[in-house]
A and B are shown apart, each in its own frame.
Chain A
């Protein structure tokens, strides 16, 4: 597609339920990133994919969080046993790695509300 697509755009879930967030990156982009943005705050790095592998997942807050990427394309971020503190906007971005295409392009985000 023309841009990074994330689904759903909004998700309300009950505490303790599992949720899956999806990201479709820009076609051909080898790098894919997940960030979390709490209300009124900056971007918190979660995980970075190069192809289908994740060389840096240092930002995942706990073992309730996991992510995978398949076909060097779609990525899913899974949060198990959601807690109210997980409420935030989850942003996905993709980029190339060449010298000329270093900027990351962001999706519109998934707003997760845990009630």
Chain B
């Protein structure tokens, strides 16, 4: 069965500092991995994805994520955090065969302090 874990309910970081939001996954075979962001009272916005190829993928708003197959992780990173990055972040996995549903983690609230 597919699953995603986001071990931190909340991450606090000072503005200008690098940020990391952690995600680990469990899936049979090769996964498709995604990060989404949710601002208050809004739907989810797609940030980036890993399908294949380079382990470091770049996405919207300066975010990037590193795929690590041996550690089954897909951590979200940004070199310099902005106050406006404060939001709820979800990691998701989708299988490449069989069921195509997306399984989401429980979310990590990122708070960037000015």
Give the interface of A toward B (CB within 8 A).
4, 31, 33, 35, 41-43, 45, 48, 50, 55-56, 91, 93, 97, 99-100, 102-109
Contact = CB atoms under 8 A, between A and B. Distances in A.
Contact of B100 (A48, A91, A108): A48
A99 B96 CA distance: 9
A54 to B, nearest CB: 11
8 contacts: A33-B102, A55-B99, A56-B100, A97-B100, A99-B51, A102-B94, A103-B46, A105-B46
Interface string B20-61: 000000000000101010000011111001010000000000
A27 to B, nearest CB: 17
Given A42-B105, A42-B107, A106 B43 contact: yes
Nearest to A48: B101
A42 B3 CA distance: 13
Contact of A43 (B46, B49, B90): B90
Closest 6 CB pairs of A and B: A106-B43, A43-B104, A42-B106, A106-B44, A108-B43, A48-B101
Given A33-B101, A42-B90, A50-B100, A102 B51 contact: yes
B24 to A, nearest CB: 15
Nearest to A9: B41
Given A102-B32, A108-B43, 8 more contacts: A31-B100, A41-B106, A41-B107, A42-B90, A42-B105, A43-B90, A102-B49, A103-B46
